[in-house]
C-alpha cells in the first residue's frame, strides 16, 4: 500500500465530497461491481465507488451499456455496499429505468436506494430530466447528474464520441449543469469533455464535479477500473496505466493449469484426512 493511502476507517459521505470542493482535495473514484473488489478498494483507501452500468461491457461482455436491467444493477450495488460500507457508493440507474414518466423514475430510484443501500444515484440527464431530479431531491435522494458523453444515448450519437468540442455544445453542457443544480442535483459527472468545459462548469456551479476524461478542474475523477488495470482490449486516452493485472492473472491461470497437468496439485497439504482408526475401518471394509 502506498504510504499516502490508508484504509477507510470512517464513512465517506456527500459532505466529504462537498468539502473536497471547498478545500481543493481531489477525490478518487473507481468503478466496482462486486463484494470482493469493493472490500479491497476500501482497504486501499478508495473513498468513492461507482457501480456503473459499464458492468454491461466489462463484466457481461456487451458492446453497449444498454442491456443491463434495474434488478441486476440493484444486486451489484448491494454487493458493493456490503463490501465497502465506509465508501461513498454511487449506483447507476440503467437505460429505461427512469424514462417515460417522472413517477416511474422516482419509483425505480427509490427502489434502488432502498434495496441496495447506495448513497447516491447517477442519472444520465437531458434538460427534460429537471423535474425528475427535483422530485428526487425533494424525496431526499442524492442525485449525481451525468452530462457530456452519455453512453446510454449511443444509438443517437452513432458511437462513443467526446462532447462539448464546439462553442455551442460546450455552452449547452454548462447551461445543463446549472439547470441540474437548480433542480437539486447533489453532484455532477462530466464525461469526455474538453478541460475548458469542466473548468466553466466548476466556475458556474457550486456542486462537486466528478470528471471522467474531463480535465484537471474537476473535484474528483472516475475511471472504469478494468481499463486502468489493463484488463480490457482498449484503454481510453484519459485512463492512467495502473498496472498490467491481465498479465498477472493469465500467469496465475497458466500456473494452475500446469500444476494440474503435472500432478503437483493436489498435494497432501491440500487434502482432508480421516482419523487413523476410521481410515483403517474404511479401508478394511468394516461396517460403521
For the annotated catalytic residues, the residue numbers are 191
Cβ neighbours for 280, distance < 8 A, ≥ 6 positions apart:
none
Quote the distance between the C-alpha of residue 257 and its chain's center: 32
How far apart (Å, rounded) are the C-alpha atoms in residues 135 and 286? 73
DSSP assignment of 112-130 equals HHHHH--SEEEEE--GGGH
Cα–Cα dist 179/127, whole Å = 7
Rounded CA-CA distance 151/191 in Å is 9
Check residue 42 and give left, alpha or beta (phi > 0: left; psi -120 to 50: alpha). Answer: alpha
Residue 190: what are its φ and ψ, rounded to 5°? -115, 125
Backbone angles phi, psi at 264, to 5 degrees: -65, -30
Report the C-alpha dihedral over residues 79, 80, 86, 89, rounded to 10 degrees.
-120
Amino acid at each position: 500500500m502506498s504510504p499516502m493511502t490508508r484504509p477507510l476507517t470512517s464513512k465517506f459521505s456527500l459532505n466529504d465530497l462537498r468539502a473536497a470542493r471547498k478545500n481543493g482535495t481531489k477525490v478518487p473514484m473507481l468503478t466496482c461491481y462486486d463484494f470482493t473488489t469493493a472490500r479491497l478498494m476500501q482497504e486501499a483507501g478508495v473513498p468513492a465507488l461507482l457501480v456503473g452500468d459499464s458492468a454491461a461491457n466489462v463484466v457481461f461482455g456487451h458492446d453497449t451499456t444498454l442491456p443491463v436491467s434495474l434488478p441486476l444493477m440493484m444486486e451489484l450495488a448491494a454487493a458493493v455496499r456490503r463490501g465497502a460500507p465506509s465508501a461513498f457508493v454511487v449506483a447507476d440507474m440503467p437505460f429505461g429505468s427512469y424514462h417515460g414518466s417522472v413517477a416511474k423514475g422516482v419509483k425505480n430510484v427509490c427502489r434502488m436506494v432502498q434495496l441496495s443501500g447506495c448513497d447516491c444515484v447517477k442519472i444520465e440527464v437531458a434538460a427534460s430530466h429537471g423535474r425528475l431530479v427535483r422530485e428526487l431531491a425533494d424525496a431526499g435522494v442524492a442525485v449525481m447528474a451525468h452530462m457530456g458523453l452519455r453512453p446510454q444515448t449511443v444509438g443517437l450519437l452513432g458511437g462513443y464520441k467526446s462532447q462539448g468540442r464546439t462553442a455551442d455544445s460546450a455552452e449547452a453542457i454548462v447551461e445543463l449543469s446549472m439547470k441540474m443544480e437548480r433542480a437539486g442535483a447533489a453532484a455532477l459527472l462530466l464525461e469526455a469533455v474538453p478541460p475548458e468545459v469542466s473548468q466553466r462548469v466548476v466556475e458556474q456551479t457550486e456542486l462537486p464535479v466528478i470528471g471522467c476524461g474531463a480535465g484537471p478542474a474537476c473535484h474528483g475523477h472516475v475511471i472504469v477500473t478494468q481499463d486502468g488495470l489493463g484488463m480490457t482490449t482498449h484503454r481510453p486516452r484519459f485512463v492512467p496505466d495502473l498496472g498490467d493485472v491481465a498479465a498477472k492473472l493469465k500467469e496465475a491461470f497458466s500456473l494452475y493449469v500446469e500444476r494440474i497437468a503435472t500432478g503437483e496439485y493436489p498435494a497432501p497439504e491440500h487434502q482432508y484426512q480421516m482419523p487413523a482408526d476410521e481410515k483403517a475401518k474404511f479401508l478394511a471394509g468394516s461396517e460403521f
